[in-house]
């Protein structure tokens, strides 16, 4: 089996990560309570006396001070990682194999942030392999890495194939000595593919500014050093999601990677130890499929309408050529994703109508109201992509309008927006609030409301945009009067849907 590097390299970020295998499984309750748990924590915090809150803050400051007294801030991030082999020897091996990441991790003139998975995080579950599978392992390891671009997978590959760590000029010697049926050119191509994947994934662990844990906690999302280069995400830098809890204090990245040790000061910034490596996110539709107990009705709706391409962005193997990778789907989308609870809450007769052959057109239009094409809407920014209409435009990485909502020192703000979804002649009313609830850095709460109702989980990052999880079906704009002639459309209810919804479907 021969691999063309130009053909396979796009798969490093193109194929959806098999997160169900590589990311710790979230139960339905955990997923639904990601935001509500934070709210419960705030309620607990409000019940404290101020003296207890002050004690807790003083304890945190004391721990930080103790850590600062014992830090190695004269070392760069790279030097500090190498100086702690008990914690980071596996990560160091990957970085040395990739080669280029050392340049910025060791740059004394930069101020950056790096999330460093420790050795435990990069130790894969033990699986028994039969000896007669040895010749098959090399091809399998590449395919596994292409499907699951994780530092854990990389670490496992480097441990099982030490020849990859050999200098390029030694490849022929290793080939001859071990009697592998890999030819030198194939080995060289495989090594280059592994390095490219490692480079992309390491970039996703880095931020281009130096952030302490408290500064991270002020944000819901932050741009990483990894730039989208596959035509998706508007060509922007891919972002991570910051999930913070204050009771007890904790910080998670992308919902699953917990910060174990924060604010390790280095000469060129900070690094934070993680208990799980970060994985560049998959497309919106692939992420929805990871949680069937939460989104099975939505994904069934999309499949019923043959609409997967509207939520997907993936490598098109059939139409790709060496050096000219092709992708299919929608490169930039924001989705307000209704859960199974949302569909269960509508009247049974309406649900039967939507999923009957007669309601297919109605279901199409209803889902279009939840879907915003060519737009990235997050709690910190709004980016709207413009169509490239000229030869000059084709040379521009990003062509669109940016709006950042809070650029000052105070993270608090209130923002109101009207955005046009895919449904013609309609708008979504968006309210974004970021509130500072304690006089300490990082103590902020961010909420998004759509058409007056609060989003349950905000800012879920995806390869081709973002998802906001809602537990109600959005009611599209319409005219509806009660038996007294009063317009009651603003009540945002499906209760009297038979009085207006079928005619609305025919009109729009």
> Tens-of-pLDDT digits for all 508 residues of the chain?
433 333 333 333 444 444 444 555 555 455 445 444 433 433 333 333 333 444 444 544 554 544 544 555 799 999 999 999 999 999 999 999 999 999 999 999 999 999 999 999 999 776 544 444 444 455 566 666 666 788 998 898 888 888 788 775 555 554 444 444 457 788 888 889 889 999 999 999 999 999 999 999 989 999 999 999 999 999 999 999 999 887 778 899 999 999 999 999 999 999 999 999 999 999 999 999 999 999 999 999 999 999 999 999 998 888 888 878 889 999 999 999 999 999 999 999 999 999 999 999 999 999 999 999 999 999 999 999 976 555 554 445 556 788 888 766 667 889 999 999 999 999 999 999 998 877 666 678 899 999 999 999 999 999 999 999 999 999 998 775 555 545 444 455 788 898 889 888 888 6
Domain 284-507 has CATH 3.90.380.10: no
DSSP string, 3-71: --HHHHTTHHHHSPP-HHHHSPPPPHHHHHHHHHHHHHHHHHHHHS-HHHHHHHHHHHHHHHHHHHHT-
pTM above 0.85, yes or no: no
Which sequence spans correspond to the domains of the chain?
5-20+73-274, 284-507
252's tokens: 């998670």
Decide if 5-20+73-274 and 284-507 have a common fold: yes
Q: If we measure between CA atoms, which residue out of 371, 350, 349, 374 comes closest to residue 362?
A: 350
* Residue 135 φ/ψ region, left for φ over 0, alpha for ψ in the -120 to 50 degree band, beta for the rest: alpha
CB of 386 closer than 8 Å to CB of 400: yes
Cβ(206)–Cβ(112) under 8 Å?
yes
Cα gap 96→98, rounded to integer Å: 5
Q: Is 5-20+73-274 in CATH node 3.40.50.2300?
A: no
């Amino acid at each position: 089996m021969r691999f063309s590097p130009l053909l396979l390299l796009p798969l490093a970020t193109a194929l959806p990560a098999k997160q169900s295998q590589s990311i710790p499984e979230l139960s339905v309750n955990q997923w639904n309570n990601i935001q509500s748990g934070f709210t419960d924590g705030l309620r607990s915090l409000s019940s404290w006396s101020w003296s207890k809150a002050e004690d807790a803050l003083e304890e945190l400051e004391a721990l930080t001070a103790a850590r600062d007294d014992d830090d190695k801030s004269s070392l760069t991030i790279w030097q500090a990682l190498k100086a702690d082999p008990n914690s980071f020897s596996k990560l160091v091996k990957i970085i040395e194999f990739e080669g280029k990441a050392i340049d910025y991790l060791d740059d004394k003139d930069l101020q950056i942030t790096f999330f460093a998975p420790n050795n435990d995080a990069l130790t894969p579950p033990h699986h028994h392999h039969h000896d007669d599978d040895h010749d098959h392992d090399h091809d399998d390891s590449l395919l596994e890495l292409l499907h699951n671009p994780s530092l854990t997978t990389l670490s496992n590959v480097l441990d099982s194939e030490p020849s990859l760590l050999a200098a390029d000029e030694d490849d022929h010697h290793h080939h001859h000595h071990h009697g592998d049926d890999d030819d030198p050119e194939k080995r060289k191509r495989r090594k280059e593919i592994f390095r490219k994947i490692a480079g992309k994934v390491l970039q996703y662990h880095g931020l281009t500014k130096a952030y302490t844990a408290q500064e991270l906690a002020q944000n819901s999302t932050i741009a990483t050093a990894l730039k989208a280069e596959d035509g998706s995400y508007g060509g922007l830098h891919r972002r991570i999601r910051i999930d913070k809890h204050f009771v007890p204090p904790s910080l998670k990245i992308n919902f699953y990677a917990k910060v174990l040790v924060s604010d390790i000061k280095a000469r060129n910034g900070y690094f934070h130890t993680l208990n799980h490596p970060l994985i560049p996110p998959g497309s919106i539709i692939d992420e929805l499929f990871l949680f069937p107990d939460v989104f099975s009705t939505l994904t069934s709706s999309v499949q019923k309408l043959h609409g997967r391409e509207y939520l997907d962005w993936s490598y098109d193997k059939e139409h790709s050529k060496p050096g000219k990778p092709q992708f299919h789907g929608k490169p930039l989308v924001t989705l307000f994703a209704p859960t199974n609870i949302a569909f269960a809450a509508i009247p049974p007769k309406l649900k039967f109508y939507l999923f009957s052959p007669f309601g297919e057109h109605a279901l199409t239009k209803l889902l279009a109201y939840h879907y915003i094409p060519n737009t990235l809407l997050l709690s910190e920014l709004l980016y709207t992509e413009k169509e490239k209409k000229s030869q000059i435009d084709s040379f521009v990485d990003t062509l669109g309008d940016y709006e950042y909502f809070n650029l000052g020192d105070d993270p608090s703000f209130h923002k109101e927006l009207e955005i046009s979804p895919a449904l013609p002649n309609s708008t979504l009313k968006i309210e974004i609030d970021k509130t500072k609830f304690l006089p300490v850095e990082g103590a902020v709460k961010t909420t998004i409301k759509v058409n007056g109702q609060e989003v349950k989980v905000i800012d879920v990052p995806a390869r081709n945009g973002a998802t906001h999880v809602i537990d109600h079906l959005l009611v599209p704009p319409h005219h509806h009067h009660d038996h007294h002639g009063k317009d009651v459309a603003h009540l945002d209810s499906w209760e009297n849907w038979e009085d207006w919804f079928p005619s609305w479907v025919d009109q729009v």
